Amino acid sequence: KVSNELMKAWSIQKVVPQPDTVTPGGQHTTYQFSGEGPASVTIEYQAKNIGKADGAIQFPGGRSISIQQFALP
């Protein structure tokens, strides 16, 4: 799950492996994967605006990491 704060700040270019489904929700967007293949996901994105963006990515089981980034021109 990617928080809406990050979804608003990022323009997602590519997700590897490709998710089975992408479901927008009230507080986050859920990327669903089959569970087969590598246990890592790469998200390529471009910041939409210059400045600070904060948010979180949540993993199955409830574990999450906070993301704090600052995009420069």
What was the pLDDT predicted at 67?
Answer: 95
Give how far Cα 42 sits from Cα of 13, 19, 27, 50, 56, Å.
11, 11, 21, 22, 15
Whether residue 57 has pLDDT greater than 90: yes
**Cα separation, 23 vs 39, whole angstroms:** 20
Token duo for residue 42: 């790469």
Which tens digit of pLDDT belongs to each residue from 16-49? 999 999 999 999 999 998 877 657 889 999 999 9
Q: Which H/E stretch holds residue 4?
A: helix 4-9
Q: Which H/E stretch holds residue 45?
A: strand 42-47
What was the pLDDT predicted at 34?
Answer: 85
Report pTM. Answer: 0.83
